C-alpha cells in the first residue's frame, strides 16, 4: 500500500474464524506458543461471537467463534469455511485511504467508527475470495479495542447484513 498509495501501512491483526475456540486455543496457545492477551464476548441484536486475542510477536491473531447459527461468524464459516475472516491493516491517514480506495471502487460495510483510542472501518467482503479488510488508525501508541467500538462495529455489520 505504501508504494501504491504513498500511505504507510502495516498488518495489525488477522482474524481467524474457527468452529471451536477452545480447540483453536489449544493449537495457537498450547502448541504454537502464542500468548493469550484477552478473551471477550460481543453480542448484537441477533448475533454474537467469542474472540480470543493472541500476541503473534509483531501483530496479533484474533480467533473468533460464532455463538449461534445467526452469528456473523457462523454465517461466514457456513459460506466460506473456517479460516482467515479478515486482515486488519493499521494506517496513518484513514480519510485519505478511504477516499483513495473509494475512488478505485472499494465499497465499505461500515462507516468509520471513531473510538476514544482508535478509528476503524471495514470493507465489504469480496465474494470471490471471502476476504474482508479492516483499516485501523491508532490514536495513541497503546490503543486497544474498546468495548463500545466493537459493539458499534458489530451492530453496523449486522445492519448491513455483512459477515
Q: How confident is the model over 15-55, as pLDDT tens digits?
A: 999 999 999 999 999 999 999 999 999 887 777 899 999 99
pLDDT of residue 124: 94
Instruction: Indicate if the pLDDT at residue 61 is higher than 70.
Output: yes
Roughly how many angstroms between the first and final C-alpha of the chain, as a whole number?
24
CATH 3.10.180.10 fits 2-159, yes or no: yes
pTM for the full predicted model: 0.86
Which 8-state DSSP code applies to residue 31? I
> Phi then psi for 77, rounded to 5 degrees?
-60, -40
Amino acid at each position: 500500500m505504501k508504494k501504491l498509495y504513498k500511505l504507510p501501512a502495516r498488518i495489525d491483526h488477522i482474524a481467524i474464524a474457527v468452529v471451536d475456540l477452545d480447540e483453536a486455543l489449544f493449537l495457537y496457545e498450547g502448541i504454537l506458543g502464542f500468548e493469550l492477551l484477552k478473551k471477550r464476548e460481543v453480542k448484537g441484536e441477533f448475533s454474537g461471537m467469542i474472540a480470543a486475542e493472541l500476541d503473534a510477536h509483531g501483530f496479533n491473531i484474533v480467533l473468533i467463534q460464532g455463538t449461534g447459527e445467526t452469528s456473523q461468524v457462523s454465517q461466514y464459516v457456513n459460506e466460506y469455511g473456517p479460516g482467515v475472516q479478515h486482515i486488519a491493516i493499521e494506517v496513518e491517514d484513514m480519510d485519505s485511504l478511504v477516499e483513495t480506495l473509494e475512488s478505485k471502487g472499494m465499497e465499505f460495510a461500515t462507516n468509520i467508527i471513531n473510538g476514544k483510542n482508535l478509528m476503524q472501518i471495514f470493507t465489504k467482503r469480496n465474494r470471490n475470495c471471502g476476504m474482508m479488510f479492516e483499516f485501523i488508525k491508532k490514536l495513541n501508541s497503546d490503543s486497544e479495542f474498546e468495548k463500545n467500538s466493537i459493539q458499534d462495529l458489530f451492530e453496523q455489520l449486522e445492519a448491513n447484513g455483512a459477515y
